[in-house]
Chain A
Amino acid sequence: MSRYTSATEADRRAMLDAIGVGSLEEVFAEIPERVRLKRPLDLPDGRSEQEVYEELAALAARNRHCEAELSFLGAGMYDHYVPAVVDSMLARSEFLTPYTPYQPEVSQGTLQVMFEYQTAMSELTGLPVSNATLYEGPSAAAAAAYMAKLETRRGGLVCSRGLHPHARAALRTHAAGYRMQVEEVPLSAAGATDLDALAGAVDDDTAAVFLQQPNFLGTVEDLGALAEAGKRTGALVVCAADPLPLGVLKPPGELGVDVCVGEGQSLGNRLDYGGPSFGFICSAERFIRKLPGRIAGETRDVDGRRGFVLTLQTREQHIRREKATSNITTAQTLNALAGIVYLSWLGKRGLVELGELLLRRTHYARATLGLEPINPGPVVREFAVRVPDLDALVERARAEGINPGYRLGRDYPEYEDGLLVAITERRSRTDIDRLAAVVAESRAQVPA
């Protein structure tokens, strides 16, 4: 049964009369008999709201979430604290249930949110132009690759192995359609992108170079030097970044980066087992007409009042069709709202204070664990270490309700013994010390 419809028997009769048919069957006669489904859908019967709640709650209870264990997992999504004000704003029907703002006169709320979001992302990345979101991080990198193809008409993509493994995978998947080739540049012994290898990989057919700041291992890259090497032959320099550490890091736009993309989850979005969050893309001014997706712009109404509209729509699929800069339509507007509410809550000073807290706790954690770092240089929120007996550590930590981090061997054969540890503001010194104690106990048992 559908409890979300409201036609009564009397309504139905009146409506069928108005249509001029005796039954709905006459309407469905439009569908050729041979393709009609002649049995009920083989799905369980509908259930009451209470039963559905209970079923979903039982499923949820079988997941070990970040409040049910002490988690040092990061690797692209982070357990930051999401303030209540974010939940409160996102729950408003007026933000939750409209469509894309096609009628700007009754969508000023959403359009202004987009404009404010774009402003904040521009501030964080140091680039003047932002769109109003892409889906998420890795596909945003793929979107930047398409932009580079349109801009340069070249076929090569050079990407650092410091780029998130999922972003590298998404680049390869999309490159098959873009008719482009992807070449990877290795990381140095210090866990940073190998500058010479990057310089050597770039040639006259390189459309874009992909870097990540901080990189997947947490290393703060020497972005300026890498960007300079990357654009030697006229390629676009694309940097993937997590926006939260950009509160303390030199913005990519000040270091020669043309396009900054990334995963926005850390800005006020929940983990949600991987989505929905938002992806972002910001660029230098000259690429504004090649950007994918929606962009909100400021204008005036007929009475001279300030207002906002979706602008530069001639880039987009509903107008330009096969010549569009992207096929994207609906993206992640509600998640961008979470982002701008969160950034307003943190504020100009809070973003820096939080960044410095993460910086200090992360370096404290790296020193306290006492394991050999893969990336001994500067890190902001995450670092990689080698663990002599990783299986034993994971097993012991698990038994104590600790998730010690991400096993790098899942994506990097060269770091089979590597562990990637993320420190958010929700991981206190006491939490870090607990992990360190488990590491120490685990090492004590490893035969010399």
Chain B
Amino acid sequence: MTEVALTIFERSREGRRAFVAPPADVPEAPLDDLLPASMRRERPAELPEVSEPEIVRHFNVLSRKNFDVDTGFYPLGSCTMKHNPKLHERVAALPGHARLHPLQDDDYAQGALELMWYLELALAEIAGLPHVSLQPSAGSQGELAGLLLTRAYLADRGEERRKVLAPDAAHGTNPASVTMAGFELVKLGTDADGGVDMDDLRAALDDDVACLMLTNPNTLGIFERNIEEIAGLVHDVGATLYYDGANLNAVMGIARPGDMGFDIVHYNLHKTFTQPHGGGGPGAGPIAVSDRIEPFLPVPRVVRHAGGGGAGPGSDSRGANGAELTGEAGIEPRYALEHDRPKSIGRLRGFQGNFGVFVRSYAYIRSLGGDGLKEAAESAVLNANYLRARLAELSDYLPIAFDRVCMHEFVLSGSGAKRELGITTKDIAKRMLDYEVHPPTVYFPLIVDEALMIEPTETEPKERLDDFVEVVRSILEEAEEDPEVARTAPHTTPVRRLDEAAAAKRPVVRQPRG
């Protein structure tokens, strides 16, 4: 493709338009009488002037410069690029969902509140923790919420602690959330098996530690085998144990964070529960907590009052009782948003959260059921281990970091290829683009040299995994012949390697005015 990338602003021609205003049906009062000139914009914002056909062409052409999971294999580690079922878009678009105002009275939003209630119940069962707030907008906001909950929980006991622990292999959001929640980060090392270094942990734990943040399976795709001991040690000093749910897809129906001793969990509905990633959002990052953290959850909470004649409203007790999901015959419960919770940390954001994401995740859970979710996790783990085994036998150029049975993902090191072939992980990733597969996550986790983090997900069939092995084989064989092919890749994409240094040095972050 040699087409010049024109922006929609550059396609503008004076006098073109797509919008036709509804008729002016009220008296034409002079504008000055309504809004003084001093408050009015002097010249219009420089938006494009384009017709609808040109809008459609422009954005369609742009879309075709993207690679997406509906088109091909996308084994981006830690991101769970699974299939996004098409039903979900249909049900999310129903007017009763899409056109529902967030401040509609509870009595006129019973369907939405019931959906949220049951989604909370299902997520609680999956995490093995009794209380859920759907409010956080994404995983990082869930993390911040978890740390603010920890702060509030400790303050309620008259304690203020300064430190939060996280492994060196943690997602970057963890340390960033620690700082934003007003804590100091203490990094823990990784042991030879890929788990938390227990000596480091013991040395770090004292009564100034508020929380330990863990991902399990961790970012190496390895299950923390010492998790029970870790939980015991953390609880012994009175700290909370936080579960970063980025990797929950590996263990749904197989093991539950609550049963492992975690106090607070966040989910990524855009990873585990099929919300399409949208090129970088929207997502949602609900949190689940244990009883002792519950009073501090964000407001509003969804509550259910038992219905029935004359019984009077009373807050329904909830357990992780899935039988409730089908409802109780003859009783018409009423759902409401509860704002008055004195110990709550308050609001993280406006309204009730990303409801459109809840609809899709709820549809997913209802489609799969408990068995289906477990099967999804098993298939994710099967696919990852299969791909790991196939790539391991391929060559020594890409050794597996911490070579153990993995869960839903695993990490290769490009160190061998760099040393023996003179091509970096970046070169391998860029060459994959020419083969029309998306590269894995690269250079993360930071503790693995030249890392390639691979998460195939459960929705890929075996032959796609086999194809990927052949792509890797081909790239390595080419490099043995001529490493320049990879070093100068990609060759077939709409643009080739871009000068990121120049972009950062003198940032051009908007179209200059014409």
Residues B385 and A331 in contact, CB atoms below 8 Å apart: no
Which residues of B have CB within 8 Å of A87? 93
B496: contacting residue among A92, A263, A295, A303, CB under 8 A = A303
- Interface residue stretch chosen among B234-242, B309-317, B340-348: B340-348
Over the window 97-114 of chain A, the binary record of Cβ atoms lying under 8 Å from chain B Cβ atoms (1 yes, 0 no) is 111111111111110110
Residues B109 and A63 in contact, CB atoms below 8 Å apart: yes
- Interface residue stretch chosen among B171-179, B395-403, B413-421: B171-179
Residues A4 and B98 in contact, CB atoms below 8 Å apart: no
Which residues of B have CB within 8 Å of A7? 379, 382-383, 461-462
Residues B83 and A65 in contact, CB atoms below 8 Å apart: no
Over the window 332-376 of chain B, the binary record of Cβ atoms lying under 8 Å from chain A Cβ atoms (1 yes, 0 no) is 000000000000011111111111110100110111111111111
A63: contacting residue among B40, B96, B374, B502, CB under 8 A = B96
Residues B100 and A350 in contact, CB atoms below 8 Å apart: no
Assess whether B35 is interfacial by the CB under 8 Å rule: yes
Q: Give chain A nearest CB distance to B478 CB in angstroms.
A: 18
Residue pairs across A and B with CB atoms within 8 Å: the count is: 725
B503: contacting residue among A76, A95, A133, A297, CB under 8 A = A297
Q: Give chain A nearest CB distance to B224 CB in angstroms.
A: 9
13 contacts between A and B (CB under 8 A): A4-B376, A14-B462, A20-B389, A24-B378, A62-B114, A173-B345, A176-B148, A275-B282, A297-B507, A309-B500, A330-B283, A333-B280, A364-B27
**Alpha-carbon distance between A349 and B13 when the two chains are bound, in angstroms:** 12
Residues A3 and B367 in contact, CB atoms below 8 Å apart: yes
B322: contacting residue among A34, A42, A167, CB under 8 A = A42
Residues B350 and A344 in contact, CB atoms below 8 Å apart: no
A77: contacting residue among B98, B101, B260, B348, CB under 8 A = B101
**Alpha-carbon distance between A129 and B24 when the two chains are bound, in angstroms:** 35
Closest-by-CB residue of A relative to B53 is A85
Residues B62 and A108 in contact, CB atoms below 8 Å apart: yes
Assess whether B458 is interfacial by the CB under 8 Å rule: yes
Which residues of A have CB within 8 Å of B267? none
Which residues of B have CB within 8 Å of A205? none
Assess whether B102 is interfacial by the CB under 8 Å rule: yes
Which residues of B have CB within 8 Å of A102? 76, 441
Residues B345 and A170 in contact, CB atoms below 8 Å apart: no
Residues A59 and B172 in contact, CB atoms below 8 Å apart: no
Which residues of A have CB within 8 Å of B500? 104, 299, 309, 311
**Alpha-carbon distance between A45 and B371 when the two chains are bound, in angstroms:** 7
Residues A85 and B280 in contact, CB atoms below 8 Å apart: no
**Alpha-carbon distance between A336 and B509 when the two chains are bound, in angstroms:** 15
Assess whether B251 is interfacial by the CB under 8 Å rule: yes
Which residues of A have CB within 8 Å of B389? 18-20
- The number of chain A residues with a CB under 8 A from chain B is 203
Assess whether A428 is interfacial by the CB under 8 Å rule: yes
Over the window 283-321 of chain B, the binary record of Cβ atoms lying under 8 Å from chain A Cβ atoms (1 yes, 0 no) is 110000000000000100000000000000000000011
Instruction: Please report which residues of chain A, range 293-343, place their CB below 8 angstroms from some CB of chain B when the two chains form the complex.
Output: 294-303, 305-309, 311-314, 316-324, 326-335, 337, 340-341, 343
Q: Give chain A nearest CB distance to B458 CB in angstroms.
A: 5
Residues A327 and B254 in contact, CB atoms below 8 Å apart: no
Residues A62 and B96 in contact, CB atoms below 8 Å apart: yes
Which residues of B have CB within 8 Å of A329? 138-140, 172-173
Which residues of B have CB within 8 Å of A334? 276, 278-279, 281-282
Residues B36 and A135 in contact, CB atoms below 8 Å apart: no
Which residues of B have CB within 8 Å of A396? none
Q: Give chain A nearest CB distance to B156 CB in angstroms.
A: 13
**Alpha-carbon distance between A307 and B276 when the two chains are bound, in angstroms:** 25
Assess whether A446 is interfacial by the CB under 8 Å rule: no
Assess whether B192 is interfacial by the CB under 8 Å rule: no
B499: contacting residue among A301, A318, A320, A350, CB under 8 A = A301
Instruction: Please report which residues of chain A, range 230-264, place their CB below 8 angstroms from some CB of chain B when the two chains form the complex.
Output: 246-251, 263
Residues A45 and B346 in contact, CB atoms below 8 Å apart: no
**Alpha-carbon distance between A81 and B373 when the two chains are bound, in angstroms:** 38
Given known contacts A98-B69, A288-B507, A347-B50, is B353 in contact with A326 (CB within 8 Å)? no
Instruction: Please report which residues of chain B, range 478-514, place their CB below 8 angstroms from some CB of chain A when the two chains form the complex.
Output: 488, 490, 493-500, 502-504, 507-511
**Alpha-carbon distance between A349 and B41 when the two chains are bound, in angstroms:** 13
Interface centre among B22, B36, B109, by most chain A C-beta atoms within 10 angstroms, is B22
Residues B363 and A4 in contact, CB atoms below 8 Å apart: no
Which residues of B have CB within 8 Å of A41? 125-126, 252-253, 322, 370-371, 373-374
Given known contacts A295-B509, A349-B44, is B39 in contact with A275 (CB within 8 Å)? no
**Alpha-carbon distance between A306 and B494 when the two chains are bound, in angstroms:** 10
Over the window 221-237 of chain B, the binary record of Cβ atoms lying under 8 Å from chain A Cβ atoms (1 yes, 0 no) is 01101011000000000
